[in-house]
A and B are shown apart, each in its own frame.
Chain A
Amino acid sequence: DGGITQSPKYLFRKEGQNVTLSCEQNLNHDAMYWYRQDPGQGLRLIYYSQIVNDFQKGDIAEGYSVSREKKESFPLTVTSAQKNPTAFYLCASAGGGNTEAFFGQGTRLTVV
């Protein structure tokens, strides 16, 4: 079954800790994305990657880091520098420039 998988579904983090969210796709897509969703604010782009070993900052990259060592994988690390990390995080992938994105089911991160 082709698709995009995010794990875990729920994640709890203590203040001051870094945490890594996983995103894997088997669609052979070049592009991968991370978005943050907060109530009433829609989806805001954190980072995106067009190719292995390359990625670009989105609109709200501060306090986050990513890597793209494999085409299939695009993990997101929420660092302790992110002041308000509690949110719903969505990963997506897409093929060429005019193809639609496929989304994972999301990870809900809560700081406790």
Chain B
Amino acid sequence: AQSVAQPEDQVNVAEGNPLTVKCTYSVSGNPYLFWYVQYPNRGLQFLLKYITGDNLVKGSYGFEAEFNKSQTSFHLKKPSALVSDSALYFCAVRDGGFKTIFGAGTRLFVKA
């Protein structure tokens, strides 16, 4: 069975500093990995995905993520955080089919 873990409920970072939001996964076969962002009382918006190829994936709003197969991780990163990045972030994994499982989410607070 596939699963996703986001070990941090909350991440705090100062504006201008780099940020990392952690994600580890478990899935049989090759994973499809995704990051989404959610603002209050809204649906989720897609940020980026890893399918195959380069382990560093670039996405929307300056975010990127690093796929590490040996550590089964897919951490979300941004070199310089903005106050407007404050939101709830979800990691998701899909097996070779259509079933998609999400992590519990990590709340990011960026202080001015």
| Residues on A facing B (Cβ under 8 Å) | 6, 30-31, 33, 35, 40-45, 48, 50, 56, 58-59, 88, 90, 92, 94, 97-98, 100-106, 108
Contacts and interface: CB of A to CB of B under 8 A. Distances in A.
Contacts, number: 69
B96 A108 contact: no
Interface residues of B, number: 26
Secondary structure call for the A interface: strand
B43 A90 contact: yes
Contact of B94 (A6, A58, A97, A105): A97
A37 B24 CA distance: 20
Interface string B46-88: 1001010000000000000000000000000000000000000
Given A40-B104, A42-B102, A92-B44, 16 more contacts: A30-B98, A31-B98, A33-B100, A35-B102, A42-B104, A50-B97, A58-B99, A90-B44, A92-B43, A97-B32, A98-B32, A100-B34, A100-B46, A101-B92, A103-B36, A106-B43
B13 interface: no
A42 B105 contact: yes
B30 to A, nearest CB: 10
Contacts of B104: 40-42
Which of the listed residues A40, A43, A97, A98 has the most CB atoms from chain B within 10 Å of its own CB?
A: A43
